[in-house]
Each structure stands twice: as structure tokens, then as C-alpha cells.
Amino acid sequence: MTKSATESGVRAVWSSDVHGERSLTHSARSMILRDYGIYIMLVIITLAFSVTTKGFATINNLILILLQVSVMGIISVGMLFVILSKGIDLSVGSTLAIAGMFSGLLAKQEPTPVNVALALGVPLFLGLACGLVNGYLISWGSLPPLIVTLGTMYAFRGFIVWYHVNPVYQLQPWYRILGQEKVGPIPIPVIILLCVTGITSLVLNRTRFGRYIYAVGGNEDAARAAGINVNLVKLCVYSINGFFCGLAGLVFTSRLGAAQSISGAGFEMVAIASVVVGGASLFGGRGTVGKTIVGALIMQIVQSGLVMLNVPSPIQQAILGFIIILAVWVDLFIQRREGVRRSGSIRGLFSSYKAN
């Protein structure tokens, strides 16, 4: 991300210096395509549904879609951290179920200040703890992330189904606030998602820790040679992801008004898809929070739109699968075209350095 930003900056400078006005606009256009291709796709999909579906292009529906994407958006942001570090986390759904179940059990108790604090705090803590387990095994245990989180996906799910298979409901009224109330017209889960997006963007773009994550994902050996504590970065990345799963579990349970041990099954795949549709690389080092949220939004808009069009769910699934491949393919296509142009203008690149 930092790398690509520098590159675009450099290119913009040399194009104006060497090739003049016409070339700048050309380069700017491809830059827009590359950096904003996913946003253009979002707009196209939204327009397509607005035209075809009655009641889609309304403020109400916009707010509803944001509400529906909030839980998956939070998980996807966590997943982005993991994927940036060249990892993967399959245990997010199971972590969400553990956090949600304990939150629900506590939210059923008398609403004393202690119980309220516990119902809000325990899911975050449990999410963090699950993330720490993953992170420790992956960093200091040197085990592959796919294996570790596949294992914990089964283990966490097994535990929570064994611990409390029946749903917990009749939660205290105060607990609804988090998932069902609004501030003005904006539902609280959407506000939570916006906060998560803002804070994580800052962390990834403006802090040393953020740069370390990109560095570890980009080239682990180089990062280690540069003196970065790679194990610590990985531990932090999985813990952050776990924490967000806990937060998502809290919001999800509050939104449903009940906790279930089977909650979140299959969420890992949707989260990974959102991150990938948002243009992040599964090989680490590339991706942004904003685009990940857009990726999650695209998935949700397609799903909601198809439901409103009354398309049968097996066909919805097939279309979603197609969208995932299309999004990544478009992204790759643009990347490749860009790569060719960049290497073709190597002389200009040098001249720009001279100019600087």
C-alpha cells in the first residue's frame, strides 16, 4: 500500500515532466482505474439493482444494507489484518459463536452494572483470547496458519456446542441497544463499523506497526532482517482479528436478540471473499481497509438485491461465486496492464528521480 502509493506519486511526477499534459491525463486515468476500480464496480452493481429492483434505491434500503453488512464488515477488517501478514484465519465464525454465547448468557442476568460490563467486556476478551491462541501457535509455534485455524475452527465450535447447544434468549432489554437501536437515522452497528474502519485505517496507514504488517506480509525474511519482531507482529495481527470477532459476536447476538452455538458457521469464507473482492492479495502485503469494506458491501448488495428480485438462493450462490472471480480477475487485469506500462517507461522513471 505505502509502496504502491509512492509509485503512483513518482509516476505522476515523471509523466508531467517528460511526456507532458496528454500523458498525465492518460496515466491519471489508469491510476483511477487501478486504485478505484473496485469503487467503480460498486457503483455499477448498485446502479444495476437500482434500475431493475423496485424499492432498492431508497435511503431506507441503503441504511438496511449498511446494517446488514456491519457484522461481516467488522470480521472482514480483522481478516484483512491477517491476510496482509500473509496469513489466513478460518476460526472467525467459531470465535464469534463463543463470544456471542457467553455474551448472551451474561446478558440474561440481572442488569447490575457488573453484569452489564461483563456482557460487553467478556466477548471482547474471549475473542482476543481465541486470537492469542491462534497467534501464538502460528508465530512461536511456527505452524502454518491454515492448519492452526482449521484446527481451532473445529475445536472452538466443538467446545461451544458441547458447552451450550440450546439457544439463549430473553436477553435483558438494555442489551438490544447495541444491535437494534439507532442514533438519528443511523443504526448503532453501522456506527461501530465506521469506527472500526476509521481506527484500523489510521493504524495501517499512519503507524509504524501498520507498516510492519505490510512489511511482514510483503517479505517476511526482509522484515526480519530489518529488525522487525515478526513473531510479535503476527501475534498482534491474530489477536486484533480475534478481538474484532468478539466485537462482531457481541453485535450479532444483540441484533438477533439471542445467542446460538451454531452462529457464524461459514462466516470465514464470506470474510475471506470480501477481503479478496476488495483487492487484497492472499499472498500478503497488499490491501486496504476501505476497499475491504467495499468488498463486503458488494457481496451484501448482490445478496440483498437478489433477494429483493426474488432470485432462488442456489442461483444467488452461483452469482456470488461469479462476482468473486470477476472482481479478482478485473483487479489482476488492471494490475498486469499497469505493470507493462511501468516497465516500458523505465527511462522516464529515472528522469523523474533526477528531476527530484
- Identify the three-state secondary structure at position 259: strand
Instruction: Please report whether residue 49 would count as binding another protein according to CB under 8 A.
Output: no
Of the candidates 300, 310, 277, which has an alpha carbon nearest to the alpha carbon of residue 52? 310
DSSP 136-195: HHHHTS---HHHHHHHHHHHHHHHHHHH--S-B----GGGHHHHH-EETTEEHHHHHHHH
Q: CB 304 → another protein: shortest distance, Å?
A: 5
Q: Using CB under 8 A, which residues numbered 68 to 127 contact another protein?
A: 68
Instruction: Identify the sign of the CA torsion 313, 315, 316, 317.
Output: positive
- Indicate whether 167 belongs to the interface with another protein (CB under 8 A): yes
> Using the rule CB under 8 A, is 310 a contact of another protein?
yes
Phi and psi (nearest 5°) for 112? -75, 155
By CB under 8 A, residue 263 contacts another protein: yes
> Residue 200 CB, nearest distance to another protein (Å)?
24
Q: How far is the CB of 180 from another protein (least distance, A)?
A: 6
For 136, the grid coordinates are: 501464538
Bridge partners, 183 (sequence order): 186
Q: Among 193-201, 273-281, 299-307, 337-345, which window interacts with another protein (CB under 8 A)?
A: 299-307
Shortest Å distance, C-beta 171 to another protein: 11
Give the helix/strand (H/E) hosting 355: helix 346-355
Residue 154 in contact with another protein, rule: CB under 8 A:
yes
Minimum Å gap between C-beta 112 and another protein is 23
Residue 105, phi then psi, degrees to nearest 5: -60, -40
174 touches another protein (CB under 8 A): no
Q: Is residue 148 involved in binding another protein (CB under 8 A)?
A: no
- The answer to the question of residue 64 lying near another protein (CB under 8 A) is yes
Q: Which residues contact 165 (CB under 8 A, 6 or more apart)?
A: 261
Interior angle at CA 327, CA 215 and CA 202, nearest 5: 40
Interface with another protein: number of residues (CB under 8 A): 38
Among residues 103, 239, 241, 261, the one that binds another protein under rule CB under 8 A: 261
d(CA 239, CA 220): 19
Nearer to another protein, 59 or 225 (CB): 59
Cβ closer to another protein: 154 or 283? 154
CB of 164 to another protein, least distance (A): 6
Helix axes 59-84, 208-218, angle to 10 degrees: 70
User: Binding to another protein by residue 234, rule CB under 8 A?
Assistant: no
The answer to whether the Cα torsion of 189, 194, 195, 200 is positive or negative is positive
Residue among 190, 241, 197, 202 at smallest CA distance from 84: 241
Q: How far is the CB of 71 from another protein (least distance, A)?
A: 8
312 binds another protein (CB under 8 A): yes
Nearer Cβ to another protein, position 121 or 167? 167
Q: Is 257 in the site for another protein (CB under 8 A)?
A: yes
Q: Which of the 8 DSSP states describes residue 88?
A: -
Footprint on this chain of another protein (rule: CB under 8 A):
53-56, 58, 60-61, 64, 67-68, 154, 157-158, 161, 164-167, 169-170, 180, 252, 255-258, 260-263, 303-304, 307-308, 310, 312-314
